[in-house]
Amino acid sequence: MSSVLNVKLNKKPCYEIMFEKSFQALGPAVKELGFAGTKCCIITDSSVGPLYAEKVTNQLKKAFKEVYTYTFEAGEENKNLDVVRDALKFLVEHKFNRKDVIAAVGGGVVGDLAGFTASLYMRGIDFIQIPTTLLACVDSSVGGKTGVDFDGYKNMIGAFKMPRLVYINTSTLKSLTARQYYSGMGEVLKYGLIMDGAFYEWILENMYGIFDLKADILGEMIERCCELKARVVEQDPFETGLRRTLNFGHTIGHAIEKYKNFELMHGECVALGSVCAAYISWKKGMLDMEDFYEIRDMFVPFNLPITITDIDPNDIIELVKSDKKATDKGVSFCLLKKVGKAVISDDVTEQEMLDAIGQIHFTEDDAKE
């Protein structure tokens, strides 16, 4: 492996995504970017820091005189403004100036929070993304969305802030739990469903290699996802249209995530939301019944849920309506015309949503029967 993908903004090269199997090329790549600052702050969490902060520090020392590490307690519940404030304080205390740099080392929570901190400090300093989860490699580290949750609402406060580099070291994925790894597959499957039927078939054909984290399969899978995402964000960096298709499965998914108080992983909620969106697509006459069942069942081998207990469907609807994807006109939904072709719909009714949630929701009594 070892390859590079250029991501453009306004048709001009903006940053590179490097696909590597170790951290060896990180230091030279960062040096090459020629930052004027002399300091770098790694922002990481208590799960990832002990594994990789030292290795990353050794690399970053090739490009910066001083490398500091700010570590916060792992968990979605810490993706909030209090932790951002604490990180900003750390930068002030260590006398960071506007030429200095932040390096996000971790999963989606770390990348979102570190990027947002970079967007705020002295009205914005440079940052680089070093994702260490599948979800962060294929989705959250690419495209410049940063932010935190607010009052339990997912990603409610944030900014678009493009990284200067995304450095993917696929060997870090070996340290993920099976649950974390498969959570990332929720986003991988999304790309096949919304924009690339051939990739969807490829995933199914290479399922066993994916289960076994076979390096070449994993590398190809991550690169293809990044290529697909780059294609979307280059056309619509600030989500005025096409980028909304990347929210497939997220409308109901985010509501479930909040309802369950973030006990389920993001990709698990995306899988549940995707089943609902595919169901609505079928009921609106876009997909065939066979397509719906095939899509639903395809999440199962990847250990992603397609059913859930103990939710109140009406509460889920209320949460959907309060999501940031809701507008005065209603809720924006990404639906499927076919596998590999998404469409945005603003006319999904509450009854259609309730029927869709009925497809995934089972009560304790149903389970006993």
Which positions touch ligand GLY (CB under 6 A)? 139, 143, 145, 243, 246
DSSP code at position 220: H
* Separation CA 41–CA 44 (nearest Å): 9
For ligand GLY, give the closer residue by CB, 59 or 141: 141
For this structure, is 123 an active site residue? yes
Joined together, the tokens standing for residue 357 give 């949630």
For ligand GLY, give the closer residue by CB, 39 or 229: 229
Write down the least CB distance from residue 145 to ligand GLY, Å.
Answer: 5
Write down the least CB distance from residue 92 to ligand GLY, Å.
Answer: 30
For this structure, is 296 an active site residue? no
For this structure, is 361 an active site residue? no
Of 266, 268, 296, 361, the active-site residue reads 266
For residue 341, report the phi and psi dihedrals to the nearest 5 degrees. -145, 110
For this structure, is 247 an active site residue? yes
For ligand GLY, give the closer residue by CB, 189 or 246: 246
For this structure, is 94 an active site residue? no
Site of tokens 């600052």? 37
Of 239, 294, 350, 352, the active-site residue reads 239
* Separation CA 109–CA 32 (nearest Å): 27
Write down the least CB distance from residue 207 to ligand GLY, Å.
Answer: 24
Tell how strand 165-169 and strand 333-338 pair up. Answer: unpaired
Site of tokens 């590999």? 340
Q: DSSP E strands: which ranges in the chain?
A: 3-9, 12-20, 39-45, 66-72, 101-106, 126-131, 145-150, 153-160, 165-169, 326-327, 330-331, 333-338, 341-345
- Where on the phi/psi map is residue 248: left (φ > 0), alpha (ψ -120 to 50), or beta? beta
Write down the least CB distance from residue 143 to ligand GLY, Å.
Answer: 4
Write down the least CB distance from residue 108 to ligand GLY, Å.
Answer: 9
Write down the least CB distance from residue 309 to ligand GLY, Å.
Answer: 27
Joined together, the tokens standing for residue 358 give 């009925």
Angle of helix 313-322 relative to helix 350-360, nearest 10 degrees, comes to 130
At 175 the three-state DSSP class reads helix
Write down the least CB distance from residue 344 to ligand GLY, Å.
Answer: 13
Of 229, 244, 258, 296, the active-site residue reads 229
For this structure, is 239 an active site residue? yes
At 48 the three-state DSSP class reads coil
For this structure, is 76 an active site residue? no
Measure CA of the first residue to CA of the last residue in the chain; give whole Å: 51
For ligand GLY, give the closer residue by CB, 246 or 271: 246
For ligand GLY, give the closer residue by CB, 115 or 313: 115
Closest residue to ligand GLY in the complex (CB): 246
For ligand GLY, give the closer residue by CB, 218 or 246: 246
For ligand GLY, give the closer residue by CB, 248 or 292: 248
* Separation CA 179–CA 194 (nearest Å): 24
* Separation CA 259–CA 242 (nearest Å): 28
Of 224, 247, 258, 361, the active-site residue reads 247
Task: Give me the active site residues, please.
Answer: 123, 145, 187, 229, 239, 243, 247, 250, 254, 266
